[in-house]
């Protein structure tokens, strides 16, 4: 497994592969890997002949009061896990390598970056779109895999790729969960024992939403039912519960009459967790 710390190293590595006509897949990560990330790696392995994983905690997607400084990091552990999965190359740039000095260009998808999580975290999706564009330009993958847990993120990236004619196929991987249903996240390690026990209310509320969807409920009633389940976690600070069109993320009202995605953002102490599920009326 090759470790590339500069853009030049990463580009040259991929150029050598592509001279031999092989396909390349990318899994972008911010490190502190868990089984969810490794599932993405395995999916890329099924689609591409060479697998690249990036590890980069991107500062431009964190707000001034967010957890950039405390975001968990363990490069040695991450590299060992990736080597065990047969990853061909890992791109591990510094902030200086990715952004340099005097950079003043950003990528934004206005219609999707200012709603939902984007409204809670101003500038977050501009940072995501910019760093993903940089990674695509450096690695030049044929495929890139993202987890469905970050549903708004993958919707935004697909829009960006379409609008900018990027020659990258975006592949979604279903959310990977702990045995009790909690979506796997690098942030889970920061939950206290009490908050970890309460956090399962996210997946339970989504299961309740899926159950009720069969009856074609009113959107407002469905949201109320989700909030009732979340309220069983006394420390949970519900930031948002949104029920949107599963394809466009447009707002919905009235009876549920099409596939919708339920998007949750819930705080537990200093840790913000998100989760999602697509539900369909029968």
Domain termination site, one of 127, 145, 173: 173
Based on the fold, state whether residues 106 and 191 are members of the same structural domain: no
Q: Is 147 annotated as a binding residue?
A: yes
192 and 153, same structural domain? no
**204 part of a folded domain:** yes
Cα–Cα distance for residue pair 213/51, rounded to 1 Å: 38
Say whether both 22 and 146 belong to one domain: yes
> Looking at residue 144, what is its pLDDT?
98
| Tokens representing residue 51 in the block | 């697998």
Predicted confidence band at 64 (pLDDT cuts at 50, 70, 90)?
A: confident
Model pTM greater than 0.85? yes
Instruction: Tally the domains of the chain.
Output: 2
Q: Which of 150, 173, 196 is the last residue of a domain?
A: 173
123 burial (CB, 10 Å; 0-12 / 13-18 / 19+) is middle
**Known binder of ligand: residue 149?**
yes
Q: What percent of the chain is modeled with pLDDT above 90?
A: 92
Q: Are residues 192 and 102 part of one domain?
A: no
CATH number of the domain enclosing 103: 3.40.50.620
Q: Within a domain: residue 106?
A: yes
Q: Note the pLDDT of residue 4.
A: 98
**100 annotated among ligand-binding-site residues:** no
Is the pLDDT score of 250 beyond 90? yes
Residue 66 pLDDT > 90: no
User: For residue 140, what are the domain limits?
Assistant: 2-173
Over residues 214-231, the mean pLDDT reads 96
**Which CATH number do you get for residue 275?**
3.30.1300.10
Mean pLDDT of the chain: 95
**Torsion angle, alpha carbons of 107, 111, 116, 120, to 10:** 50
Which residues are marked as active site? Answer: 37
- How does pLDDT run across 128-171, given as a tens digit for each residue? 999 999 999 999 999 999 999 999 999 999 999 999 999 999 99
Q: Does the annotation flag 33 for ligand binding?
A: yes
Query: Does the residue 140 lie in any domain?
Result: yes
Residue 178 domain flag: no
- Classify residue 38: in a domain, yes or no: yes
12 marked ligand binding residue: no
Please provide residue 214's backbone torsions phi and psi, each rounded to the nearest 5 degrees.
-60, -25
For residue 120, the model assigns a pLDDT of 86
């Amino acid at each position: 497994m090759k470790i590339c710390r500069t853009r030049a190293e990463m580009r040259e590595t991929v150029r050598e592969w592509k001279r031999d006509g092989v396909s390349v897949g990318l899994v972008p990560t911010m490190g502190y890997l868990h089984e969810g990330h490794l599932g993405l790696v395995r999916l890329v392995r099924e689609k591409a002949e060479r697998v690249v994983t990036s590890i980069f905690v991107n500062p431009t997607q964190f707000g001034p009061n967010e957890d950039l400084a405390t975001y968990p990091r363990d490069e040695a552990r991450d590299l060992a896990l990736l080597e065990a999965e047969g990853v061909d190359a890992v791109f591990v740039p510094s902030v200086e390598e990715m952004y340099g000095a005097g950079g003043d260009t950003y990528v934004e998808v206005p219609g999707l970056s200012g709603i939902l999580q984007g409204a809670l975290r101003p500038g977050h999706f501009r940072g995501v779109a910019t760093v993903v564009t940089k990674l695509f330009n450096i690695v030049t993958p044929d495929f890139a895999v993202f987890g469905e847990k970050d549903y708004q993120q993958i919707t935004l990236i697909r829009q960006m790729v379409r609008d900018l004619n990027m020659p990258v196929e975006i592949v979604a991987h279903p959310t990977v969960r702990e045995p009790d249903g909690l979506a796997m996240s690098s942030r889970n390690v920061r939950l206290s024992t009490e908050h970890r026990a309460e956090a399962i209310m996210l997946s339970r509320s989504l299961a309740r939403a899926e159950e009720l969807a069969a009856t074609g409920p009113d959107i407002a009633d469905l949201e109320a039912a989700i909030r009732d389940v979340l309220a069983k976690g006394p420390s949970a600070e519900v930031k948002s519960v949104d029920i949107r069109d599963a394809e466009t993320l447009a707002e919905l009202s009235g009876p549920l009459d099409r596939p919708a995605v339920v998007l949750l953002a819930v705080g537990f102490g200093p840790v913000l967790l998100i989760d999602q599920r697509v539900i369909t009326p029968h």
